[in-house]
Structure 1
Amino acid sequence: MALSAKLQMRQSQSLVMTPQLLQSIRLLQYSNVELAAYVAGEVERNPLLAAGAAEPAGDSAVPADMPVPMASHDEAAAGTPITGSENDSATFESGFAGREEAVDRPERADIGRRGEGRIMASEHDFSVEDLAERQPSLNAHARSEVRDALSAGPARKIGEAMVEHLDESGYLRLSCDQLAADLGVTVEDIEPVLATIQSEATPAGLFARDLAECLAIQLRRRNRFDPVIAAVIGNLDLLARRDFAALRRLTGEDEPGLMDILAEIRGLDPKPGHAFDHEGFEAIVPDVIVTEAQDGGWQVELNPEALPRVLVDNDYLRTVRSGGLSDDDRVFIGECQQSANWLVRSLDQRAKTIVKVASEIVRRQDGFLTKGIGGLKPMTLTCVAEAIGMHESTVSRVTATKFIATPRGTFEMRFFFTVAIASANGGDAHSAESVKYRIKLLIDGESQGKVMSDDDIAAILKKEGVDLARRTVAKYREALGIPSSIQRRREMNARRLAS
């Protein structure tokens, strides 16, 4: 069989992800902080780009209750250029301090047009007296305490190294062995330094290595760390479960005495570091603002503070082109112009997509805005994507790390997507979040001698039309951080004896 070379041409089609398309996808899922950093980098690299001040997006508002096709959302959004065109501390809180009372969300607020109630710095003159005194940071305070407790020398250097390993609660989250290995010293050098700082630093409990040690330090400062309290501190898990029978066997103390110890421990501070400012925390800037419209519906607006405004400097482009340019310069300017125009279009498309998704979310969750968490309806990415004519992956990218400011608070977009729980009587399905809220209300309404088990809660919910199994009730209860009925009964008995 003879071999011969042949030249053939074959035509085919395939999907190719261009660099521009890939970057458009990334822009869509960027948070406002990531987007601002990316745009700042592009402005620095591209001489044709200029950062402009954000403009109010009042004309881009979309009434959420209007039964209009999604194309009208594009028209509304295009009215104004939106852009350029398990730890031990948790055991303490849940076991000793009890759960904090839930804060009721406000009823449907009488909110007028957006912007009322805001104070602009340009409209008022502020003096130093108008500014609140800033608390010192934990790092600065801890360094000051180390300098006061230790004299200059190797011991102070060891103490300053410990400061760098404090967490936001004021705990030293590094073992002496590891710290000694990092500093090239022995454990015998570390332990006396740590003991000195713990005994002198204020507030008491700083530089503790765990919750038990933090409480013990505070009790020693009060001269109350006797063997009985030491045994209780060493068995915080029993105290959290209100297992007073086991504590009586361990300590030999009667139940009234244990109630006094519990009351004293309640008065301690489990997180002494929280009294100071912590660097690195940033306030959430919502991407979308929802306000009540004058016609009774809801108005969805983009937050201009979360949208960088980018402009193409056409005057500079004409000036550069009017001069003598080499071939390489012309290629470079052409690439810069193409990149700048693409960025402006991508930012505009990103803003329109966010408005479209947010408007559909608000339209479907009107019950939440008017009634609160009990009015939250089941909603999935698929149903939103089908309603606005987009792919589910696009909706997923839009809702990632994006926030909506509503009259009931600021929430992540993903908060409004909940699974559906079937109705017991064949009616509309219930949202998982609203069912969790109902479980919390039932437990908050318990009284002495009337503590409900998970089976009792499931039976009550079934009468209300929510078909929920007992194990699902237990799962939701644990997700809310609510202890079991046995622990709640012990807590009520402890409160009764302490009162």
Structure 2
Amino acid sequence: MALGPRLDLRQSQSLVMTPQLQQAIKLLALSNLEVETFIGEALEANPLLEIGAPAPADAPAEPIDEARRTSLESSPVDQLIGEARGSEDKPLDIDTATLDIDRDTGDWGAAVSSYGGEDLPGIDERGEGGPTLAEHLDRQIGLSCATPRERLIARALVDRIDDAGYLSSPLREIADDLGIALAAAESALVLVQSLDPTGVGARNLGECLALQAREVDRYDPCMARLLDNLDLLARGELARLKRMCGVDDEDFADMMSELRSYDPKPGLRFASGGGEPVTPDVLVTPRADGGWDVAINQDTLPRLIVNRSYYVEMKGACDGKDARGWLSEKLADANWLVKALDQRQKTILKVASEIVKQQDGFFRQGVSQLKPLTLRAIAETIEMHESTVSRVTSNKYLMCPRGTFELKYFFTSGVGAVDGEGGASAEAVKAAIRQLIDAEDPKAILSDDTLVDLLKGKGFDLARRTVAKYREAIGLGSSVQRRRQKTLTAIR
């Protein structure tokens, strides 16, 4: 076979990610308020774009109607996501109870937010400011201190506790400022550290976690060595840490799991972040025939149109080639943006409609009927790529007669049923746990083992550790913590 240069013609297909397609993908992940900002910038940059008249207030909403659903599986955006997805297209992990020790969010427990519903706090309640950490501690000091002097010292310590719950000043410095002996300051610190939330008043992370370990009776010598060497944990020297603790792989894994359940910043739960109102992107209303109307919230999304008469006027005044080219480019950009926004609305409506269809029991009866649901299940039903559904449900809120919920709220992991058939949503389990704890007798606080038995009676087959994980995820303390809190409430 002779070797030499030659010319060949080959036909192949390739997917080019144009700037317009990149922007279309970005639009999917934006909320309506973010899209409004984007439209404002586009109006400034393109003279052919303008805001049209808003849709009439009595315009009918988009219902869940199979005949009217637009087939989007052939859309360029969805093809792009399906064929050329990168690392950012990895589907989101819907098990919101997964622990992550590397996150610096102040929450080592389950990163779960509870939204409105019949068994959960309504969205209007989230805007109300609760007591600050200092106010919360001050109320307890009045009941815990025997003398005015103890209250004075304890409140001086509280004044030096930061938002995360840590004592920000050296204890000796505080004692000198108050003109008291160091032993008196140490005694007052012990009292402050006994208050709720557990871990408050600690001088460092190790002490904060040790206080929480003692609270649940897990502060043994092995745990003490682990907490004394958190620097090794931060550097990832787990093998060395395990040898220092003198435990096997199973015990070390259990210790790490226990450590992740503690809160490294217990004071942040009282931080006044200011409950900003949430503007829904999707509106769900009941129909007379028993169905549901699903519509985009037009109040937060301006109606964009292309001013073609202005284009004709400008075109007549363009003499140079460059000017005509610039005008044609602006017209193409304007037409593309209008189509991209229309495609975005159709995609959101299609996903939201399927969510409402899948979770019909929730909208009718409440969180107890919330079913396990994954992104993949929705994507396969509407014939879209999973990452497209992930983008559509990011930063979007749905308002219905039961309240306002993030679209991600409806995607939950499932737990086993006692009868072995089907399963229940993790959110339904959390609601059941909250209901049981809210109804418990202050003189007979329910332990996690008791909760396991009661939940089995409701049809949920769960292990004790799983119950504890869900209990902590919804912000409910252990039986010891709840007994103390309810006792203080009864005294008041």
TM-score (norm 1): 0.60
**Superposed CA offset, 1:227-261 (max 9, x none):** 97984455433223799xxxxxxxxxxxxxxxxxx
Alignment of 1:111-260 (within 5 A): 209=162, 231-233=187-189, 235-240=191-196
Alignment of 1:240-319 (within 5 A): 240=196, 282-319=276-313
**Superposed CA offset, 1:336-375 (max 9, x none):** 1111111110100101111111111112222222222222
Q: Which residue of 1 aligns with 2:374?
A: 380
Is 2:50–2:305's contact at 8 Å kept on the other side of the alignment? yes
Q: What CA distance in whole angstroms lies between the structure 2 residues aligned with 1:301 and 1:391? A: 22
Distance 1:320 1:236, change over 3 A: same
Q: Which residue of 1 aligns with 2:385?
A: 391
Q: Say if 2:365 is the partner of 1:371.
A: yes
Q: Say if 2:438 is the partner of 1:444.
A: yes
- What's the CA shift for 1:439? 0.6
Q: Which residue of 2 aligns with 1:52?
A: 52
List runs of 5+ in structure 2 lacking aligned partners.
Answer: 72-100, 108-114, 121-131, 136-157, 172-177, 200-266
Number of matched pairs: 346
Is 1:400–1:414's contact at 8 Å kept on the other side of the alignment? yes
**Superposed CA offset, 1:275-311 (max 9, x none):** xx97xx7532211111222223322121112222111
Distance 1:421 1:48, change over 3 A: same
Q: Which residue of 2 aligns with 1:6?
A: 6
Q: Which residue of 2 aligns with 1:149?
A: none
Q: Say if 2:55 is the partner of 1:74.
A: no
Distance 1:13 1:482, change over 3 A: same
Distance 1:481 1:49, change over 3 A: same
- Structure with max Cα Rg: 1
- What's the CA shift for 1:39? 1.4
One-letter amino acid matched to 1:320: M
One-letter amino acid matched to 1:239: L
Is 1:206–1:272's contact at 8 Å kept on the other side of the alignment? no
Distance 1:209 1:326, change over 3 A: same
User: Aligned-pair RMSD on alpha carbons?
Assistant: 4.1
**Superposed CA offset, 1:113-161 (max 9, x none):** xxxxxxxxxxxxxxxxxxxxxxxxxxxxxxxxxxxxxxxxxxxxxxxxx
One-letter amino acid matched to 1:237: Q
One-letter amino acid matched to 1:402: K
Q: Which residue of 1 aligns with 2:344?
A: 350
Q: Which residue of 1 aligns with 2:18?
A: 18
Q: What CA distance in whole angstroms lies between the structure 2 residues aligned with 1:298 and 1:331? A: 48
- What's the CA shift for 1:29? 0.9
Distance 1:231 1:355, change over 3 A: same
Distance 1:325 1:106, change over 3 A: farther
Q: What CA distance in whole angstroms lies between the structure 2 residues aligned with 1:401 and 1:45? A: 26
Q: What CA distance in whole angstroms lies between the structure 2 residues aligned with 1:398 and 1:489? A: 43
List runs of 5+ in structure 1 lacking aligned partners.
Answer: 76-85, 92-101, 108-167, 172-204, 217-222, 244-268
- What's the CA shift for 1:470? 1.0
Q: What CA distance in whole angstroms lies between the structure 2 residues aligned with 1:448 and 1:238? A: 20
Is 2:116–2:405's contact at 8 Å kept on the other side of the alignment? no
- What's the CA shift for 1:395? 0.9
Is 2:49–2:334's contact at 8 Å kept on the other side of the alignment? yes
Q: What CA distance in whole angstroms lies between the structure 2 residues aligned with 1:430 and 1:402? A: 24
One-letter amino acid matched to 1:74: T
TM-score (norm 2): 0.61
1:429 pairs with 410, 423, 432, which one? 423
